Amino acid sequence: MINSSILLGITTFTYLFIMVLYFYYLFFRNKKLGLFIKVTTIIALIIHTAGLIIRWIESYQLGYGHIPLSNLYETLVSMSWCTVLVLLIMEQKFKSEILGVFIFPIVSIAMAYASLSPNVRDEIEPLIPALQSNWLTYHVLTCFLGYAAFAVSFGSSIAFLIKNRKGSVSSRERPSLLPDINLLDEIIYKANAVGFLLLGIGIITGAVWANYAWGSYWSWDPKETWSLITWLIYAIFLHARVTRGWRGNKTAILSIIGFCAVIFTFIGVNYVLSGLHAYT
């Protein structure tokens, strides 16, 4: 019988496979391989979507229906979904087939950890009263889409730094593997702008929801504080780029620092610090 676990398991292995394909593509630059990767990614994302929808339906069958965003397993799987979706959109918009090479390792590890780690419970659990609200969807989804955009800018920043280091030397054995530097710079800027707006909306929806549920729109909870820190790092990036004309290595490194803050906000805060958002 098809259930969400099987579909999400298939998705996990497909993403691992795609990750390997990307590395292959990085070294052999075969046009047909590029197309094959894109098609496989789209199919994998469809299966991933189906897995999430079926899990949603399964939760209703158990009597306590809710969108799959409530525990660590669901957030890892949904976050990976958002990342692959945003990656596909950006690859399409910027006509690049290689953007995913630094992102699929992260996605694969996240999915594999969610499915295989004994520390992650994958049962469908009912929602505690505080989470029984439509705001759960608006808030978590906008935050995740923001994180996904930052993930794409992170991958592009790594690609940028690698490409920039090699200088203009390109030998025949290694024709330009990674996209053009100026294109990468543009992708980093635009991805960060999109992520900034989405994360801003995510933080605001979180504040509105907190006010509605607990009477306090901001309580300096570790997750709230760290999401604000992340948002401010990207605000610094945008100011540096627009008002001070920063480009290149400096902005790439700033994007990488920002993404480290994203990871800490997304996962680190739940384990290292306790608060409203703690999983433990």
Partner 1 sequence: MVQKHIHRPTTRPISPDSLNLFAEKGKYTRLGFYITHLGIVLIITGGIIGNLGYQGFMTLVEGETSDTITLRGTSRQKKLDFSIRCDDFEASFYQETQRPKDYKSSLTIIEGSKEVLKKVIEVNDPLKYRGVYIYQSSYGTASDEGEILLSVEPKAGAKKSQKYKAKIGERFTLEEKGYEVEVKRFVPDFTIGKDKKVVSRSQELRNPAVQLALFKDTTLLDEKWVFAKFPDFHGSEKGEYRFTLLDFSGKEYTGLQLTKDPGIWVVWSGCFLLTLGCYLIFFTSHRRLWIKAELLKDEYLVTMAGTSNKNIESFKRVFDHIHQELKRISKTTPQD
Instruction: Give me the residues that bind partner 1 (CB under 8 A), please.
Output: 64, 125-126, 128-130, 132-133, 135, 193-194, 196-197, 200-201, 204, 207-208, 211-218, 238
CB of 83 to partner 1, least distance (A): 21
Q: 182: buried, middle or exposed (CB in 10 Å: 19+, 13-18, 0-12)?
A: exposed
H helices present in the chain, as ranges: 4-28, 31-61, 72-93, 104-116, 135-165, 181-214, 222-243, 248-263, 269-272
Distance CA 247, CA 230 (A): 20
Shorter beta-carbon distance to partner 1: residue 212 or 271: 212
- State the nearest-atom distance from the C-beta of 27 to partner 1, in Å: 31
Any idea what DSSP says for residue 51? H
Which residue stretches of 215-247 are H helix? Answer: 222-243
CB 219 to partner 1: min, Å = 9
Minimum CB distance to partner 1, residue 44 (Å): 30
Contacts of 14 (CB under 8 A, 6+ apart): 40, 43, 44, 47
**Are the beta carbons of 150 and 227 closer than 8 angstroms?**
no
- Please state the closest distance from residue 126 (CB atom) to partner 1, in A: 5
**CA nearest to 205, candidates 232, 222, 227, 190:** 227
Distance of alpha carbon 136 from the chain centroid: 18
**Residue 229: how many CA atoms within 13 Å on its side-chain side?**
18
Query: Which C-beta is closer to partner 1: that of 100 or that of 258?
Result: 258
Q: Output the smallest distance, CB 198 to partner 1, in A.
A: 10
Contact 234, 198 (CB under 8 A): no
Q: Cβ of residue 275: shortest distance to partner 1, in angstroms?
A: 15
* Closer residue to partner 1 (CB): 71 or 164: 71
Minimum CB distance to partner 1, residue 259 (Å): 19
> Which one, 23 or 218, has the nearer CB to partner 1?
218
First to last CA, the chain: 33
For residues 192 and 265, what is the distance between their CA atoms, to the nearest angstrom?
16
